[in-house]
Amino acid sequence: LLRECMVAKIVVQVRDPRQAMVSLYHHQNLESDHQSHGLLPQLAPRHAGARPIDEADDETIAALLGQLVGWLEDWLRAAGSAQLPEVHFVSYEALKAAPRQVFTEVFDFFAPPEEYRGLLDFVEDLAASKTPSFRAGETGEWRSALSPRQLTLVEDLLPATLLQRFA
């Protein structure tokens, strides 16, 4: 579809799939809990019915992680292809640690006119702001959120290339 639309360059934000899985589980679980109480997720308090991820079964962990791994591997294949679009990856973890550096790299990738470089201050301020639509935005939370059994399972399920990429 991107080729059909003649998209020449695209930035893809990726996140450590272990952390993305924790976040996805949280949002799916919380959304389900809020719907059962007839509440809008953004207005509802936390409910006792929302199960923490360390209580999730292996099949749930494997299914969520499988979705995320498949998505990442598809983008990595696209990036390795000689066909357009040209893909630039931005990791959430790098964005959180050094927003100005990441956005400088994005600007360099797209090579906009020099006057747009003034936007770096704006995006750096935006990256530092907190909004109610984000959960925690933490990095590495998966290490404490998953049970020891789940940590082993996730390590077994993640392809070596992704384990190295998000080491």
Dist. CA 93–CA 109, nearest whole Å: 19
* Ranges 45-49, 99-103, 156-160, most confident: 156-160
CB 90 within 8 A of CB 12: yes
Q: Kindly report the number of other CB atoms within 10 A of residue 9's CB atom.
A: 13
How far apart are the C-alpha atoms of 7 and 128, rounded to whole Å?
Answer: 30
Residue 24 identity (one-letter amino acid): L
Q: How confident is the model at residue 123 (pLDDT cuts 50, 70, 90)?
A: confident
Query: Mean pLDDT for the chain?
Result: 81
Query: Do 30 and 119 touch, CB atoms closer than 8 A?
Result: no
Model confidence pLDDT, tens digit, residues 129-140: 766 555 557 788
Quickly state the pLDDT bin for 42 (edges 50, 70, 90): very low
Confidence check: pLDDT of 144 > 60: yes
